[in-house]
Amino acid sequence: MLQADVLVIGSGGAGMYAAIAAARAGARVLLVDRSLIGRGGATVMAQMTVAVAVGEEEPDHWQHHLADTLKAGRGLCDAELSQLLCEQGPACIREMDEWGIGWARRDGHLAQVHAPGHDRKRCVYVDFLNTGPAVSKTLRARVQRIAQVQRVGDLLVTDLAIRDGVCTGAQAIHVSTGAAIPIAAKATIVATGGLTRLYARNSASLNMGGDGYALALRAGAELIDMEFVQFFPIGHLAPRLVGMDPIMWDPFRYKLGGRLLNAEKREFLPEGGRYVAARDLATYAILQEVAAGRGSPHGGAWLSFQHCAEPVLRAAFGPVIDRLAANGIDLTRQPIEVAPIAHYHMGGIRVDPDMRTGVPHLFAAGEAVGGANGANRLSGNAITEAFTFGRRAGERAAALAARIAMPEPLDHGCRRRGKTHFNPAAEIVSLQALMNTHVGPLRTRAGLEKALQDIMALAPLCAELPAPNEGLDAAWIDLHDLRNLRLVAECVARAALLREESRGAHQREDFGDTSEAWRKHQTIRLAGVELQLAS
């Protein structure tokens, strides 16, 4: 059995920041992750910039950042959460600076660049393709130095422990041995990230399968805005590229513009070689070209940097050009193919500005939280959200833990071992294809109904989770993931079907207009095995 004042589930940016903040407030913290500490999840893969109104490149104020965030959110942001992100962002960025992250500097001040959707140069970075790894490394080093933070990787939380409606910790499986490990905690923070693994085309790591949403639902918490999945418009599609994150073309576009072309090699967005189109609009435009038969051979668009001479490319991206060459890609001679890929989830667990969920003693942080980014996330807000929400959750969880007694560990009893008569890895691949086709960036009633039918047909296969076999049980991990993915897929599809309008990342071909009547949230909770939606 494990025990802590504050249990943090997930060790990306939000989880590690939460652990640091909780320990600083006097709590004994247990930081767990199904993967290695600080290496799985989304943060380590972030290659981009971090939006924050530090005003070093030009005068700025968090209220300007907030205005841009609300505008990008298409009228659907939870303004209190957005404000927390924008107002507390600068303090976190400076704290990361003190911890030695090494934000890029110019003439003695933090370098800030202009990203789409921002009204000024606001985005800090470490190195264009290295910001996420630097964030992870800095937080890992910080966490390692704090004696009150116990770190345990390879530990998969399968359910939260709920006694009389209150969260008292969690139930976990030690992945390598299959041993059941109960965890008792005064306060618990879910920081497991989003759900982008639901889609065949994604930029996700393996553990972005909506675990936190499923945990929260089964614990009795409410989810919000689940229909809003951000597709990153220019994910790498072809030729095959390895050793690099599929969203890597974004920094190229920041620095060099680049031309987005259809099969006729014609620009179809009014960009004129610059990088200005917001993510939802660019995604929509590319898929419209594909639907009209003007897509690239693999079903996306061409992205060309052929107007840039080799020295220009090399000056901008030096060693990256060599990594592309190793993949057989020469940008001076060929365009590459890009397509929208699932990148971030705006929806998530419903919290108040103290990061408290609807279940007492249960908090959430980072991408697992819904609401701060409305119907469309502003570029650069994800890492800021991880920092600010993580810090807030850690502080509030520690304050709660200081006031209450340690709960008794909850005995979940023995689950029976079950033999699985199907291949759960194959079912996950089918579900990902289904979601990409029917619950992706372009949606219709017919498609969503078809998706729901298939999602419901999958339910009997993964309604219950048996105990794993001893030793690492690889198929059991897939079954666990399938169970959570299916539940979360149902949330996205049901919410998308009900929302009869188009707004931000939710685009209905049968309801193309944004409707004022729909300027409201949908929430979801689980009653027995049934999802209940409300708006």
Partner 1 sequence: MRAKLKIWRGAAGEPGRFEHYEVAFEPGQTVLDGLRWIRVHLDPSLAIRFSCINANACKECMIRVDGKTVYACTTRLAQGDMTLEPLPNKKLIRDLVTEIAPPDERLP
Identify residues 19-38 at the interface with partner 1 (CB under 8 A).
35-37
Q: Which is nearer to partner 1, 204 or 351 (CB)?
A: 204
Binding of partner 1 by 424 (CB under 8 A): yes
Q: Name the minimum Å distance from CB 14 to partner 1.
A: 17
H helix runs in 73-152, sequence order: 79-98, 131-144
Is residue 52 within 8 A of residue 110, CB to CB? The reply is no
Catalytic residue of the set 259, 279, 503, 508: 279
Of 91, 320, 472, 533, the one binding partner 1 (CB under 8 A) is 472
Integer angstrom CA distances of residue 107 from 96, 110, 111, 166: 20, 8, 8, 52
Sign of CA dihedral 56, 57, 62, 63: positive
Axis crossing angle, helix 381-403 with helix 13-24, rounded to the nearest 10: 40
Q: Name the minimum Å distance from CB 235 to partner 1.
A: 12
Q: Which is nearer to partner 1, 165 or 239 (CB)?
A: 239
**DSSP label of 6:** E
Of 90, 116, 132, 335, the one binding partner 1 (CB under 8 A) is 132
Distance CA 25, CA 3 (A): 18
Binding of partner 1 by 239 (CB under 8 A): yes
Identify residues 142-201 at the interface with partner 1 (CB under 8 A).
144, 151-155, 174, 176, 179, 181
Angle at 389 between CA 387 and CA 395, to 5 degrees: 100
Residues that bind partner 1 (rule: CB under 8 A) add up to a total of: 45
Q: Name the minimum Å distance from CB 424 to partner 1.
A: 6
Q: Which residues of 473-508 are buried (b: 16+ CB within 10 A; e: fewer)?
A: beebbbbbbbbbbbbbbbbbbbbbbebebbbbbbbb
**Residue 443: strand, helix, or coil:** strand
Q: Which is nearer to partner 1, 232 or 284 (CB)?
A: 232
Distance CA 321, CA 113 (A): 22
Piece of 88-96, 270-278, 396-404, 471-479 that binds partner 1 (CB under 8 A):
471-479
Binding to partner 1 by CB under 8 A, coded x per residue (else -) over 36-75, reads xx-xxx--xx------------------------------
Q: Which amino acid is at 202?
A: N
Active site residue 503: no
Binding of partner 1 by 235 (CB under 8 A): no
Task: Kindly list the residues in this chain that would bind partner 1 in the complex (CB under 8 A).
Answer: 35-37, 39-41, 44-45, 132-133, 144, 151-155, 174, 176, 179, 181, 204-207, 239-246, 327-328, 423-426, 429, 471-475, 478
Active-site residue set:
279
